[in-house]
Structure 1
Amino acid sequence: MVNDAAPATRPAGRKFRAFTAKHLDELTARAGLTPDQRLATRAVAAVLPFRTNAYVIEELIDWSAAPDDPIYRLVFPQPDMLPAEDVAHLSDLLRREAPAAEVEAAAHAVRMRLNPHPAGQLELNVPSFGDGRIPGMQHKYDETVLYFPKQGQTCHAYCTYCFRWAQFVGEPDLKMAGDEPARLREYLLAHPEVTSVLFTGGDAMIMGEPVLRRYLEPLLDLEQLESIRIGTKSLAYWPQKFVTDPDADAMLRMFEQVVESGKNLAFMAHFTHPRELEPLVLAEAVRRIRDTGAVLRTQAPLIRSINDDPEVWEGMWRTQTRMGMVPYYMFVERDTGPRDYFAVPLARAYEVFRDAYKNVSGLSRTVRGPSMSATPGKVCVDGVLEIAGEKVFALHFIQARNDDLVGKPFFAKYDPEAIWLDELKPAFADRFPFE
């Protein structure tokens, strides 16, 4: 239970301070970048979003190792994240101080080549209901609905690999956002097969307690719901949200209310690197959330140059288990944004997963992966085998649009360079079972 007397005994803590693209030149100079490199970084930030905060800058980044430090690479744009010709063109526009409209037009053209909405999430995931679609809602799998609160369409800091980058670049046609909790409730009542709602974004935990309560409270008396999930990077980027922020105690009391209603409140916490788990304030935030009865599950994508090392994952899973969190997913970097820069081939992804998985206890082996959130569903790479003289990937669906496919193994020809499902070819069949 939350201790109401806690605010009188806890230090107030620092206030949140954000850094955006206007601070990039100063911050990248601190990393030792040359003027041309700093300009190229600003060019990338004209296309993809940049936002970080004082906690990340002062507590997580090792500036003596920048720009190669993994946390620096996690939040700061890299000049080679985009095609060289695009970076050169945008750099030239910035150098000669071209009109903002001209820079934005060039940036828009680059964005449209980066697959801003992968896996058919706008065409296939947004259902019709009543007199039209419900803004900010997606329903891909029968039992789970995703909701994107309008007030949660930012984060305490942005990850350079983020597959939701299109939410943050100021293009309304690319954004998914809703502000109709009543319509969400109506949809759920009309779809009793839905047992779980996931609030995502952006980051739902960017919202204050009164705003988040608007979305959660209408769901608490729905008997069909088994769980309410919150996808968040806040524990890594601003754990003060649950410790010293002005509404920290009110937020935790609301979590208790969700649990007392009989729902499983699951925090889908994103941790990309072990350093995010080191600060003492993070340990206190985790303790306070667990004390409400909520469950913390951890997930992250496998990202080249940041965490593509089995020892990194082994360390994360061990620490998370020790802290009472449940390792949940290792994802494959999705086919959007600067995917070619960050992606790890599926064969290597499986090796990283296996080499980390074999060294942790059974309590950490709750984790699944490497998993691709592809158009037909979540596809897990189970291994590399040789069958009848042919080397193949063994795969299965963890989730699927067609739930008859869930859990059934299938095979693809081994390709050491493939990084996504659409680059694989079926083995022992003319087509994949989802085709």
Structure 2
Amino acid sequence: MSAAPSAGRRFRAYTTKHLDELTARAGLDADERLAVRAVANVLPFRVNSYVIDELIDWDAAPDDPIYRLVFPQADMLPSEDVAWIADLLRREAPKGELNRAANEIRAKLNPHPAGQMELNVPKAEDDEPIEGVQHKYTETVLFFPKQGQTCHAYCTYCFRWAQFVGEPDLKFASSEIDQLVAYLKRHPEVTSVLLTGGDPMIMGEGVISRYVEPLLEVETLESIRIGTKALAYWPQRFVTDPDADETLRLFERVTNAGKNLAFMAHFSHPNEMTPALVHEAVRRIRDTGAVIRTQAPLIRTINDDAGTWERMWRDQVRVGMVPYYMFVERDTGPKEYFEVPLARAYEIFRDAYKNVSGLARTVRGPSMSATPGKVCVDGVTEILGEKVFVLSFIQARDPELVGRPFFARYDENASWLFDLEPALGATHFPYETPPPADASTLVDPARA
């Protein structure tokens, strides 16, 4: 397959200092551009030349879905916060004052959902916490490589936004692969490691191989996953970049070692899959023996209709990728801007799911990655005269909860697990501690 015209271009990143010029190209006036810059001083902004030149339809901007995926919108934050930062920018306030204001706003945005900084952090043999590692589920460990804590471009909805704003206290990362390997050897129940971030594929082959190759010596490890947006935002990484071939040889070493290499590709809109270069990158990755699984959140104003998901899943199956997850937008960052109510999310999922073949029905969702685990909205029904959500755990901190259906009162406005109440006379959800016998209400620690 012939390469796209931009295939051989060098990577060029655009950051906040380029924002005024780029938003002017989208037709925004001076006040609108200032408001966008204000948001970008709180939430991270980064895009690259491939996204700018190949993915965004500038004639349709600012309504183009890819534009909205990567460019901040003025109403992502409360108007008073945007006005506060805009005023500081207008009067050229000192950088320290601007940073203090931005940090105060960030602190209100739940920068670490599901307790990722406090919960599930494993310990080394000396009982010290292992930095940059999470052991959330029995069989799965997440590893955050220090050099992978950025991306080729930032999605405006990204729940890992706190990793990218330059505040050390908000970062979660490690360069100690030896500690992880030792931990895995002490915990043979762990069969899968997920390299995440950020985006591990931002690292060159020489760096990423230093993290991956030691894992091949762990006999009990069955699979290595790499969570990445690179296929959508920089497919050159696997086709024309100087170390593209070496990266693919690394993938081959993983599969030749008898490990499953699961390439977890984030595609948020079918337009990200249109360029020929993406198809060539997919072909080359699959030729290494890796399996490409796809996932994305449901995002208001960007992909919140069934036709978009149906098209995306069909396109993915056509080129040999495996649809995996539709996520619910997580309870962090500008959640209110992007969230879709659970009832509507289920309708979108079902309307897309019913129109694709069984090969695309590997996808699961809509799924919430909440504190107790991954909770799927399986349906809406009526039981004993009460309208309810049917829910189940796809993954859970307590493995006994996995696959057991439970019920919540139907609420057309609920958009997250902790917005829901138990149904059918229940006093608590299965993951909650039962209330005392004389208690009429329950406060779940995860909701507090």
Q: In the alignment, what sits opposite 1:62?
A: 57
Q: Could you tell me whether the CA contact under 8 Å between 2:327 and 2:367 is conserved in 1? A: yes
Give 1:422 shift: 0.4
Task: Work out the CA distance in 2 between the residues paired with 1:44 and 1:11.
Answer: 30
Unaligned runs of 5+ in 2: 433-448
Q: Give, in whole Å, the separation in 2 of the partners of 1:38 and 1:331.
A: 31
Residue 172 of structure 1 corresponds to: 168
Identify the residue that residue 106 of structure 1 maps to in structure 2.
Answer: 101
Matched, 1:117 2:112: yes
- Identity level (%): 75
1:343 and 2:333 correspond: no
Question: Cα offset for 1:128?
Answer: 2.3
Which residue of the partner structure matches residue 256 of structure 2? 260
CA distance in 2, matches of 1:137, 1:252: 25
Specify which of 213, 216, 220 is matched with residue 216 of structure 2.
Answer: 220
Indicate if the aligned counterparts of 2:7 and 2:236 stay in contact, CA closer than 8 A.
no
TM-score, structure 2 normalization: 0.94
Per the alignment, residue 434 of structure 1 pairs with 431
Q: Which amino acid aligns with 1:272?
A: S
Correspondences of 1:292-307 after superposition (within 5 Å): 292-307=288-303
Matched, 1:35 2:30: yes
Checking the alignment, whether the CA contact within 8 Å between 1:11 and 1:244 is kept in structure 2 is no
Once the two structures are TM-superposed, the CA of residue 11 in structure 1 deviates from its matched residue by 9.7
**Residue matched to 2:79:** 84
Aligned equivalent of 2:391? 395
Letter in 1 for 2:17: K
Contact 2:228–2:266 (CA under 8 A) maintained in structure 1: yes
Q: Matches of 1:383 and 1:27 in 2, distance apart?
A: 42
Shift of 1:277: 0.5
- RMSD value over aligned CA atoms? 1.3
User: Are 2:364 and 1:373 aligned?
Assistant: no
2-side partners of 1:12 and 1:277: how far apart? 15
**In the alignment, which of 310, 313, 323 is matched to residue 314 of structure 1?**
310
Determine whether 1:357 maps to 2:353: yes
Task: Return the match for 1:130 from 111, 116, 125.
Answer: 125
Query: Equivalents in 2 of 1:43, 1:73: separation in Å?
Result: 16
Quote the offset at 1:12 in angstroms. 6.9
CA distance 1:11–1:381, shift in 2 (3 Å): closer
Q: Is the 8 A contact 1:412 1:424 kept in 2?
A: yes
SS in 2 for 1:119: helix
Displacement after TM superposition at 1:29 (Å): 0.2
Tell me the residue number matched to 1:48.
43
Q: In structure 2, what is the Cα distance between the partners aligned to 1:286 and 1:402? A: 36
Q: 1:59-79: CA deviations, max 9, x gaps?
A: 000111111111000000000
Give the whole-Å Cα distance in 2 for the aligned partners of 1:192 and 1:127: 14
Local SS of the residue matching 1:255: helix
- Residue of structure 1 in register with 2:188 after alignment: 192
The reply on whether 1:425 has 2:427 as its aligned counterpart is: no
Aligned partner of 2:443 in structure 1 is none
CA distance in 2, matches of 1:334, 1:427: 23
Q: 1:161 is matched with which residue: 142, 157, 172?
A: 157
Q: For residues 311 and 11 of structure 1, do their structure 2 counterparts lie closer, same or farther at Cα, with a shift above 3 Å needed?
A: closer
C-alpha distance in 2, partners of 1:134/1:233?
26
Q: Aligned-pair distance for 1:222?
A: 1.4
Distance in 2, Cα, partners of 1:248 & 1:240? 8
Alignment partner, residue 18 of structure 2:
23
Aligned-partner residue type, residue 430 of structure 2: P
Return the alpha-carbon distance in structure 1 between the equivalents of residues 40 and 272 of structure 2.
23
* Partner SS, residue 240 of structure 2: coil
Give the residue type in structure 2 aligned to 1:32: G
> How big is the shift at 1:433?
0.4
Q: Which residue of 1 aligns with 2:241?
A: 245
2:122 maps to amino acid: P
Closer, same or farther: CA 318–12 of 1 in aligned 2, 3 Å: closer
Deviations 1:407-428 (A, max 9, x none): 0000000000000000000012
Alpha-carbon separation, structure 2, partners of 1:411 and 1:12: 50
Note the C-alpha offset of 1:82: 0.2
Which 5+ residue runs of structure 1 have no aligned equivalent? 1-9
- 3-state SS of the aligned residue for 1:258? helix
Deviations 1:284-310 (A, max 9, x none): 000000000000000000000000010
Q: Is the 8 A contact 1:194 1:224 kept in 2?
A: yes
Match of 1:333 in 2: 329
* Cα distance in 2 for residues equivalent to 1:280 and 1:399: 35
Partner SS for 1:379: strand
Q: Distance in 2 between matches of 1:323 and 1:201?
A: 26
- Matched residue SS, 1:108: helix
1:105, CA displacement in angstroms?
0.4
Equivalent position amino acid for 1:227 in 2: S
What SS is found at the alignment partner of 1:25?
helix
Report the AA paired with residue 110 of structure 1.
I
Q: Secondary structure at the match of 2:217?
A: coil
In 2, the alpha carbon distance for the partners of 1:129 and 1:112 equals 30
CA distance in 2, matches of 1:168, 1:306: 22
Equivalent pair of 1:30/1:63 in contact (CA under 8 Å): yes
Q: TM-score, normalised by structure 1?
A: 0.97
AA aligned to 1:246 is P
2:319 aligns with 323
Give the partner amino acid of 1:76. F
Letter aligned with residue 186 of structure 2: A
- Is the CA contact (8 Å cut-off) linking 2:124 and 2:179 kept in structure 1? no
CA distance in structure 1 between the partners assigned to 2:42 and 2:211 by the alignment: 32
CA distance in 2, matches of 1:18, 1:171: 20
Deviation track 1:252-283 (CA, whole Å, cap 9, x = no partner) reads 01100000000000000000000001000000
Which region of structure 1 is more displaced relative to structure 2, 221-230 or 331-340? 221-230
**Paired residue type of 1:338:** P
